[in-house]
Structure 1
Amino acid sequence: MNAFLKGLPGAAKVQAHQWFFLAASVYALGMVPLAMLARHGYGPVALATPAGHAYEMLFGFALALIAGYLLGPMPARRLAGFLFVWLLARITGLIAPLEWPTVLVNALFVGLLAWHMLPRLWVAKKWRNRLLAPLLGLICAMTVLIALIGHLDYHLLARAFLDESVLLFALLMLFMGGRMLAPAVAGEFYRQGKELEARVQPHIEAALIVTVVAAFALAPLTASVSGLLLCTSGVLAGVRLLRWQLWRCLARPDLICLGVGYGWLALGLLLLGWVKLNGGAYFSTAVHALTVGALGTLAANVIVRVTLLQVKQYPSRIQPIVMLTACMSAAAILRIGADLSPHREWLLMLAALAWSGTFLQVLIIQLDCRAYVSSHRKLLRGGVG
């Protein structure tokens, strides 16, 4: 590790997404097929159980996305350190799940993440913006808490915490997705000579925050009230999405695709609320509307969008964005349908292929952009010479 860090230019700054998005894409590409193999005795034992697979989806893959999106530019050596600890946490989690090394390395990663991100986020003036700091802090805390409880053999409690942690990521997607879509749609309206009146929609955003936080807090006490609150938040998210009038942005497939991800978020909250109101059956099925449909779709679109903008390319001109979104929606539909079908194993396999195929396309786009930047730099150097 020290030899690797010495080989990096210490003073040069690198955008965190350039490394973490690439790592997240590679991890996503292999994680679901490995879980499928593990279920049949051919993959890492940690991914053979639903809890192990869910933990890596949320606190491995999703945390890498958060790091890439929010860490910003930092010295290459420091960023390499962050990435090394994240990678070490993933490796120890697959080799020795629920053991002390895994707990400690995960704690180190989220501790570094919180130390670097939270002070910058806490300076926001509006309470809705300041919510991001405690929300991310709670996600970091849950990363360690669930791993620690699992290590102490309280598996049912760890699974309960893991199930409810999905709501924290749903709230983060509601917040970040809205903050990305609203100005982008408003900009497209402006280019058309129109004005979008419903932008961030602060009252709906505030109601979403209150309902999801209350649903998370009340889940251990009353599942029915938690379910009702989640249904309410799903309706609110749907209303917010409709008020953005994305049907007027047909020339911008990138915005439509982000809207599809936000739509999965609204649907997932409704399904999860409905499941809680009806005794909790098919909880795992409903969760996949959020983890595959919403998280997968938004992650793929955000990675491609940020990567293209970094090299001064416009996402609206890249047709694969539509294919990515269609593939991920297919993965979500197949995964949800698998639990309702007698052909479960076949549908699970097709869902895994659709998920991995999506992130293979995402990875190829990132590598193409890197190759473009590299060749452009060589041309500039040749011209200067």
Structure 2
Amino acid sequence: MGADGNFRAFKTRPVHLPFRPFFLVAVVAAVLGGSGWLPSAFGLQAYGSAGISAVDWHRDMLLFGMVPAVLTGFLLTALPRWTGHRVTSPRATHLLVLLWACGRVAFLLRLPSLGLAFPAVWMLALLSIAARAVIGSRDRRNIKILLLLAVFCGSNGLVAASYQVELALRLALVSMISLVIIIAGRVVPALTVAYVESAGAQIILSRSVFREQTAALMTISALCSWVVAPEAQLTGIACVLAALSQAIRAAQWKGWRSLSSSTVLGLHIGYGWIVVGFGLLAIHIFAPAMLGEATALHAWTIGATGTMALAIMASMIRKHSRLAFTPSTPATGALAAMTACCLSRLLIEALPGYFGLLASLSGALWIVAFGLFLAAYRGPLFGAGAK
């Protein structure tokens, strides 16, 4: 199998694995971003009135710090296999990490605009690298990834320039969720089949082209409608249809067959939060007094993105470190903490009197989740091979 070939190559010659530095900086950005909610949960200003507020710090560190790091590590490692072209060199990888570090330093120096400008340049560089591989190999399948990277990069630039910030943030979220949906559509079914077969069982996934295309159409319609008319009734209808079509799509992957593997199950749970996010967004549009938009968005940003980030990083590390589906208590704990983190955040509107407690609990659980992830995979991430 291809995976076995990768493991043999790992043992016989040095391999440049871009995911290592980027998954490490993703953990750093996640912890720094989560820390923003700990003081702000109690109405405190964490980073000084002259700089960036704790809420903006939390948003920008995660959306334009952690998410690009996970994307960069994953794409630079996966694109050579997808396209058959060498994507980057160790020197280019180090330069991208330097751009990330410059952006974080700018934030710490209370220069938020500059701190956002560096990630924009970073994403532009990633787009250039990915485009060279995709276009050079005439890989039409991955053109949509290039388009979404371009949208994310553009939205990052708009936020850095403080121009149409609300629209830019919606574009960033839409491109992020779309990338998660595309990548998950490739990773989740493949890993589910691999896990079930590794356990000596058989599984056949009946993936309907019609269902896949319907889910794609409904999702694109809902996301585009939300960008241009976030409160429109038509957007609410589109979100309901997107939730239903994505639920049907996910059901094809038979996630219940992976209950004994926390990593594979985490992928299914993360994808499930996308469905929940569409459903909650529809509820907000039709009954805004009942549910705020932030609740729906946190189902996407914490539930879907946080859980999928942990699970996809774990699966890539395992593939390249001969860990396969070996059980890991810290890794299981990380996914459990992330689920509890999302549930705590979603409860805030139902229990507004406990805002401080629930917000700080959610922030703490987010930090715990990434801390446990680092504990589980510190060996492979620092180049020590299998744990």
TM-score under structure 1 length normalisation = 0.83
Q: Please, which moves more after superposition, 76-85 or 275-284?
A: 275-284
- Per the alignment, residue 321 of structure 2 pairs with 311
| Aligned with residue 64 of structure 1, among 69, 74, 88 | 69
Shift of 1:49: 5.3
Once the two structures are TM-superposed, the CA of residue 223 in structure 1 deviates from its matched residue by 2.4
Q: Secondary structure at the match of 1:71?
A: helix
State which of 251, 263, 272 in structure 1 corresponds to 2:272: 263
Task: Find runs of 4+ consecutive structure 1 residues off by over 6 angstroms.
Answer: 123-127
Secondary structure at 1:317 match in 2: coil
Task: Return the offset for 1:94.
Answer: 4.3
- Counterpart-to-counterpart distance in 2, 1:366 and 1:193: 28
- Give the number of aligned pairs: 357
Which residue pairs with 2:206 in the alignment? Answer: 198
Cα displacement (A) at 1:128? 5.8
For 1:245 and 1:267, the matched residues in 2 are separated by 18
Paired position in structure 2 for 1:112: 125
Partners of 1:124 and 1:211 lie apart in 2 by 30
Correspondence for 2:369: 358
> Contact between 1:254 and 1:316, CA under 8 Å: does it hold in 2?
no
1:16/1:68 contact within 8 Å kept:
yes
Match of 1:347 in 2: 358
Q: Secondary structure at the match of 2:323?
A: coil
1:92 aligns with 2:102: no
Q: How does 1:71-82 map to 2 (within 5 A)?
A: 71-72=76-77, 74-82=88-96
What letter matches 1:214 in structure 2? S
Match of 2:293 among 283, 291, 316: 283
2-structure distance, mates of 1:160, 1:236:
26
Q: Is the partner of 1:312 in helix, strand or coil?
A: coil
Whether the 8 Å CA contact 2:267–2:308 is kept in 1: the answer is yes
| Structure 1 segment 39-188 matched on structure 2, within 5 A | 39-43=43-47, 48=53, 50-72=55-77, 74-99=88-113, 101-102=114-115, 104-122=117-135, 129-148=142-161, 150=162, 154=163, 157-188=164-195
Give a deviation string over 1:318-341, Cα, whole Å, max 9, x none.
233322211101000001112321
CA distance in 1, matches of 2:20, 2:381: 9
Which has the bigger relative contact order, CA under 8 A and spacing at least 6? 2
Using a 3 Å threshold, how does the CA distance of structure 1 residues 44 and 357 change in structure 2: closer, same or farther? Answer: farther
Question: Is residue 305 of structure 2 the alignment partner of residue 300 of structure 1?
Answer: no
> Over residues 112-169 of structure 1, what are the superposed CA-to-partner deviations in whole Å (9 max), with x where a residue is unaligned?
1111112323568786643222112111111112221x1xxx5xx3123313532221
How far the C-alpha of 1:97 sits from its partner, in A, is 4.3
C-alpha distance 145-190 of structure 1, shift in aligned 2 (>3 A): same
* Deviation readout 1:291-347 (Å, 9 max, x if unpaired): 111111111112222222221112342233322211101000001112321111011
8 Å contact kept, 1:34–1:44 = no
Query: What percentage of residue pairs aligned between the two structures are identical?
Result: 20
The Cα shift of 1:44 comes to 5.9
Pair 190,250 (structure 1): closer, same or farther in 2 beyond 3 Å: same
RMSD over aligned Cα atoms: 2.7
Match of residue 252 from structure 2: 243
